[in-house]
Amino acid sequence: MRIHALPLSLLAVAALGSCSAVQPKPQCKAQPAEYAAKYIMQGTPQGMCEGKVLSGEILHLGSYRSKTDYTSGAPSVAIKPQSVLDVMNPTGMPYSQGDYTSIEPDDSDLCTAPKLSPTDITAGDVHLTYTWTNVRMIVTPLNNGSHFGADLVRKDGDCTVTYKVSAVYPAVFCGTATKVETMDNGQPVLDENMKPKIVDDPEHGVPDPKLCDPIPGNQISPDFALTCDASMDGMSGSHLCMPQKAFPSLK
């Protein structure tokens, strides 16, 4: 019996077919960008809280490699709330930061930071503190740090409110108002006809839920269920595309 040798190319194909490739996990991270955060109040506010209970806000996130071990140490996540950024000339710590428990996500594709350092700022009569715990970030090749949940205790003066937080990247506005574009000095920008230039103002106006749909270029994940956080008349709400429900807000 004559035995015929297989061509090397066929042997290579056979070898590839005999095993399945395993895609490596991405490292724990957060997008260095703005997230739209939905705040779901837990229990009853404590103290004088009129006008101080939030439905949500923009959160500015970042992630950092370990300061002590760049190769095997777990990275950290940092959160700076928009409420803090809006305060003029504050003193104190304007952001929170804490380490993830591992370099890579667990079997549920979650990176967890059990506790972050507190945000604590003061400016005149304003005193804000944010205490973050149980931060859980979804980290997969397709959704690489674009959705997280957390527990938050927020203090605004003598008002204390506890929230469940569900936040998504990117922060996209969904209003349909327009406005006159202005320069830094407040003067209107003129168009080619020397008339004030009218531009979109998605932070105000009647909401358009379609602006929360994923389309090429807006970076919204098709995996997450979002809603436009604004009243039907556009007179209230953040006008942000927020998660519809508590974390994880999946379709």
Residues 18-38 have a mean pLDDT of 84
Look at residue 81 and tell me if it is in a domain: yes
Look at residue 219 and tell me if it is in a domain: no
Residue 22 pLDDT: 64
Q: What's the chain's Rg over C-alpha atoms?
A: 24
Residue 69 pLDDT: 59
Through-space distance between the first and last CA atoms of the chain, rounded to whole angstroms: 61
List, for residues 232-244, the tens digit of each pLDDT value: 999 999 999 999 9
Average pLDDT value over all residues in the chain: 90
Single out the residue of 141, 127, 38 nearest to residue 90, CA to CA.
Answer: 127
Distance of alpha carbon 113 from alpha carbon 27, whole angstroms: 14
Residues 150-158 have a mean pLDDT of 98
Look at residue 210 and tell me if it is in a domain: no
Residue 73 pLDDT: 83
Residue 67 pLDDT: 66
Look at residue 119 and tell me if it is in a domain: yes
List, for residues 12-24, the tens digit of each pLDDT value: 444 444 445 567 7
Domain count of the chain? Answer: 1
Residues 136-156 have a mean pLDDT of 97
Q: Say whether pLDDT at 1 is over 90.
A: no
Residues 151-168 have a mean pLDDT of 98
% of the chain exceeding 90 in pLDDT: 83
List, for residues 40-90, the tens digit of each pLDDT value: 999 999 999 999 999 999 999 999 987 665 555 899 999 999 999 999 999
% of the chain exceeding 70 in pLDDT: 89
Residue 68 pLDDT: 64
Residue 145 pLDDT: 96
For 108, phi and psi rounded to 5 degrees?
A: -95, 10
**C-alpha distance from residue 35 to each of 160, 175, 196 (Å):** 23, 17, 32
Look at residue 58 and tell me if it is in a domain: yes
Print the domain residue range for 144: 34-171
Distance of alpha carbon 245 from alpha carbon 80, whole angstroms: 22
Query: Pairing relation of β-strands 177-180 and 159-168?
Result: unpaired
Instruction: Tokens for 30, please give them.
Output: 């957060």
Look at residue 209 and tell me if it is in a domain: no
